[in-house]
Amino acid sequence: MTLEILTSDGLSPIRHGFFTRRGGASSGVFAGLNCGTGSSDQRGAVAINRQRVAQALDVEDTHLVSVHQIHSPDVMTVDAPLTDKPRADAVVTATPGLALSILTADCQPVLFADAEAGVVGAAHAGWRGALAGVLEATLDAMENLGAQRSRTAAVIGPSISQRAYEVGPELFDEFLSDDPDNARFFANGQGDRMQFDLPSFGLHRLRRAGVGHAEWTRHCTYSDAERFYSFRRSTHAKEADYGRLISAIRL
């Protein structure tokens, strides 16, 4: 099976892709293109999957840059392949030939590009990272490389949608303590539960930060098991582990 790669005209002409789980070498609960080195999947299968992604982006395997994601606002600026995986949740570069990648399984993968300046970025933005400012920090790091926010496009890839994202009152309270206007990203659920709209919150933060273009691909990871991995869906199914989707961008 060939790889399925979702792209956005908003990031054109920069080479990029939100890869689905189709076309990979993994099996079992990881069936497909699991690129999570931190999963309990067979290392050989994950390595093959990552090689296929690198080939699709026309870079060497070692030039597929990844970080150790920790739900933080921390950003790495890179100009060469990494020999290890530093702890961060976003990465930016102005160096051609490096493919910046982010792993997700419900959280937002966000790809950034200022094509005129020749600067790209990739961010992992779950609720915690987005609230802490990882999207704005990515834009700051891109500006340090010569990008302009008004020229920058940012696209949110497959993420969990509001209808599938039930949260408790403590999360609602945390968002309201940050900004009372954040109440608009929550809808009433059953009992004291709420339904949180993570992609809309991400778009709000991006637009408030001044990006020239912001969009969500409108793919829900939870609702489409054939195409996407989902941490929450795997948890509800009481599966032992779950696969990780990869999203990547390069100059």
pLDDT tens-digit series, residues 66-113: 999 999 999 999 999 998 999 999 999 999 999 999 999 999 999 999
Query: What is residue 1's predicted lDDT score, i.e. its pLDDT?
Result: 67
- 138-182: pLDDT as tens digits: 999 999 999 999 999 999 999 999 999 999 999 999 999 999 999
Query: If you search the block for the tokens 């990871």, which residue do you land on?
Result: 221
**pLDDT value at position 129?**
98
174 and 186 Cβ atoms separated by less than 8 Å: no
**Residue 239 pLDDT more than 90?**
yes
The CATH label, of 3.20.19.10, 3.60.140.10, 3.30.420.130, 3.90.79.10, for the domain at 5-161+197-250 is 3.60.140.10
Residue 10 — very low, low, confident or very high, per pLDDT cuts 50/70/90? Answer: very high
Provide the percentage of residues in the chain whose pLDDT is more than 90.
Answer: 99
How far apart, in Å, are the Cα atoms of 85 and each of 104, 109, 207?
16, 18, 30
Give the domain ranges of the chain.
5-161+197-250
Contact 230, 107 (CB under 8 A): no
Question: What's this model's pTM, rounded to 2 decimal places?
Answer: 0.97
> What is the pLDDT of the chain when averaged over all its residues?
97
For the chain, the residue count is: 251
